[in-house]
Amino acid sequence: MILLTNNREDSPVDLLPEIERLKQELNAVVLAHYYQTDEIQDVADFIGDSLDLSRKAAETDADVIVFCGVHFMAETAKVLSPQKTVLLPDLQAGCSLADSAPPEEFKAFVDAHPDHLVVNYVNTSAAVKALSDYCVTSSNAVKLVSGLPSDKPIIFGPDKFLGDWVMRETGRDLLLWQGSCEVHEMFSEQKIAEMKAEHPAAKVLVHPECPLPVRALGDVIGSTRILLEAVQNGDANGEYIVVTEPGIIHKMKQAAPEAIFHMAPAEIAGSEDGSCTSCNTCPHMRRNTLEKLYLCMKNQTPEIHLDPAIIERARLPIERMLQVG
């Protein structure tokens, strides 16, 4: 039993049955990203990577989408289902990548290169998506960019590391916006190499938001779903070094209870041994809690609202993203 005690109600609230009751009452679906806390993942109706969550948001027949993820994900759900109520447990749950591309600055960049196609990672605000020809996630960026006309120059934003990965995988020359994820850029190449030497049988699973020297150590590089699938399809007694946000370990452990998982540390200048095992946790994703999930369903706020003109313009690049597997 998980109780909410610091509330204004007379008696403590038992959160799990209350969330289930509110799902029925509101005809709500709870979507959660793999980077959410274990308890949020356990109460969610669907857990996925950015692409799968967008697909679920597009096809659900629920009246209310409760998005346990970050702001840009909830915005994407709102663009795809503008008639639905989209709730985000904590409105401050942002993303350093999305923040690295302010719409006015990104528009100036696009205007300066009018002959370029504009491809943006889904980790962008709806206003930046509205300036894009295509959106991609780390699941389908390589496939989508490979299929673009070879005579067209391409802007790719906002993640310079993901963009570099796509460039190398596709052989296309991309004009990169210089954004990065504050979590994935911190992983320590040196510490991962040491871990690898200590655990030579371990497979290294790396998210493509990491810089090249870290990606170079990876056996599997891909979105959170691809990394999870590597465990699901791997040896039940396997060993893994996981180089992404540790929330994903919850599902990995369920898929392979006997497997061994090592969380890759981040590099922190000034810390005792130069590393930090909790700095790889996304502070934005972790703003959502079970209590905030319950309260947002109970009060039906915070809700995502978007300018209808932005919804109109952001829809096509997102729909193009959904068409690529």
Q: Do the Cβ atoms of 77 and 304 come closer than 8 Å?
A: yes
Is residue 144 a contact point for ligand SF4 (CB under 6 A)? no
* Residue 224 contact partner, candidates ligand SF4, ligand 13P, none, CB within 5 to 8 A by sort of partner: ligand 13P
The tokens describing 242, both together, are 């996981």
Residue 15 or 73: the one with the smaller Cβ distance to ligand 13P is: 73
Q: Which is nearer to ligand SF4, 47 or 183 (CB)?
A: 183
Q: Can you tell me which of 18, 45, 133, 182 binds ligand SF4, judged by CB under 6 A? A: 182
Give the pair of three-digit tokens for residue 291. Answer: 């209590």
Window 107 to 136, contacts with ligand SF4 (CB under 6 A): 123
Tokens at 99, concatenated: 């923040």
Peptide bond into 302 cis (omega under 30): yes
User: What are residue 205's DSSP bridge partners?
Assistant: 220, 242
Which one among 40, 43, 66, 70 touches ligand SF4, defined by CB under 6 A? 70
**Between 18 and 99, whose beta carbon lies closer to ligand SF4?**
99
Q: How far is the CB of 168 from ligand SF4 (least distance, A)?
A: 20
Could you tell which of ligand 13P, ligand SF4, none binds residue 49, using a CB distance below 5 to 8 A set by kind? ligand 13P
Helix (H, G, I), strand (E, B) or coil at 265: coil
Q: Are 132 and 118 in contact (CB under 8 A)?
A: yes
88 binds ligand SF4 (CB under 6 A): no
Q: Which of 49, 75, 90, 245 binds ligand SF4 (CB under 6 A)?
A: 245
Phi, psi of 64 (to 5 degrees): -125, 130
Residue 95 in contact with ligand SF4, rule: CB under 6 A: yes
| 205 within 8 A of 234, measured Cβ to Cβ | no
**Residue whose C-alpha is closest to residue 195's, from 247, 260, 129:** 260
Which window, 268-276, 281-289, 295-303, 308-316, contacts ligand SF4 (CB under 6 A)? 281-289
Q: C-alpha distances in angstroms, 223 versus 207, 229, 268?
A: 6, 10, 25
Question: With contact defined as beta carbons under 8 Å apart, do 120 and 317 qualify?
Answer: yes
Per-residue x/- track, 191-220, ligand SF4 (CB under 6 A): ------------------x-----------
From the list ligand 13P, ligand SF4, none, which binds 50 (C-beta under 5 to 8 Å, kind-based)? Answer: ligand 13P
Residues binding ligand 13P (CB under 6 A): 49-50, 95, 123, 137-139, 209, 223-224
Q: How far is the CB of 323 from ligand 13P (least distance, A)?
A: 17
Q: Does 264 bind ligand SF4 (CB under 6 A)?
A: no
**Nearest distance from C-beta of residue 140 to ligand 13P, angstroms:** 9
For residues 226 and 252, give the distance between their C-alpha atoms in angstroms, rounded to a whole number: 11
Q: Which residues contact 218 (CB under 8 A, 6 or more apart)?
A: 204, 205, 206, 210, 243
Reading phi first (left if > 0) and then psi (alpha if -120 to 50, else beta), residue 270 is in left
Q: Is 145 in the site for ligand SF4 (CB under 6 A)?
A: no
What residues line the site for ligand SF4 (CB under 6 A)?
A: 70, 95-97, 123, 181-184, 209, 245, 282, 284-285
